[in-house]
Amino acid sequence: MCPGMVKRAFVFPGQGTQLKETDVRYILSLPNASDFIKKSSSLLDLDIEDLLLRGISPKDTEISQIVTYILSLSLFYTLEARGLSADVVAGHSLGEYSALTASGAISFEDGLKIVRERGRIMAEACREIRGGMIAVIGLDREDVLEAIKDVPDVEAVNFNSPKQVVISGRESALSVAEDILKRKGAKRTIRLEVAGPFHSSFLKEYGERFYNNFISDLKIDKPKIDFVSSVNGRLIREENEIRECLRVQMYSPVRWVDVVRTLEELGEVDIIEVGATSVLTGLIRQTSSKLNILGNALEVLEKIYGR
């Protein structure tokens, strides 16, 4: 990237957001997106279009992850076909795989395989561990960490914005932690629509199995587009760094605030969320006044081409 130029960052969401039917039909009307979804369906022997139209519960971990990955990339390739390319990419949780594919570090075909297997392994974890996640609104990182330090089986795992931290853990312990956090001044707590204690140490065994079976020998190339990892919040460019991030990603915190700070350091940056919702751009607005939010992919495409 050249100093002084306006950069464009694409940020890719994770699982957990249900789409409006009108948005799904609009996406399916976009030729590049529709063709990509059909290609993905053929490779997986799975009717992605039908799944999108019927709606997918975010708690259906296996299906939700693969469909989110395909949807994000269908919009990425549509934006590229319209002349909107990225200088830097980042992804939140599952979105890291979309970002790595967009960067050229991993192939789409390999991404399909590993995201499907990631979903299967995490779904297995959800069946074996009764847990979940809660977003805590209105307390900063230090306040949340202090409040839950004596609660066993609960961890702070997503540092989404200065005033939004997500905790993860066993269901019984989450209820205890939630009560404490409310007493400590949390404005709001939101149970996330996920089926398990994602990004916590409860998933370490599953994450290590996933790494050994699918990531350790994955072909990873040097990214053609700069990539910021949400595992450590830093720009990473080397194959060994990417592989190490993927090794621990399933059971490590999401450091989204650090991602935003790294994007700020790049200078003047326009942000597009490569999805149909505005979860990440909302978090970025809470964190930074320096970055320019253009909108999500559908909003950007509609501004240019209408609906």
CB 74 within 8 A of CB 36: yes
Own/partner pairs for 143-152, CB < 8 Å, 24+ apart? Answer: 143/184, 143/185, 144/181, 147/177, 147/180, 147/181, 147/184, 148/177, 148/180, 148/181, 151/176, 151/177, 151/180
Given the residues 64, 92, 168, 199, select the one marked as catalytic.
199
φ, ψ (nearest 5 deg) of residue 140: -85, 175
Report the distance separating Cα 17 and Cα 23, nearest Å. Answer: 13
Given the residues 64, 72, 74, 93, select the one marked as catalytic.
93
Residue with tokens 């395989």: 113
Burial 268-284 (b: 16+ CB within 10 A, else e): ebbbbbbbbbbbbbebb
Sheet with 226-228, strands from edge to edge, namely 235-236, 226-228, 88-91, 7-12, 269-273, 292-296
Query: Is 229 an annotated catalytic residue?
Result: no
Burial 150-171 (b: 16+ CB within 10 A, else e): ebebbbbbbbbbebbbbbbbbe
The contacts of residue 142 (CB under 8 Å, 6+ apart) are none
Query: Is 93 an annotated catalytic residue?
Result: yes
Report the distance separating Cα 54 and Cα 251, nearest Å. Answer: 31
Catalytic positions, written as ranges? 93, 199
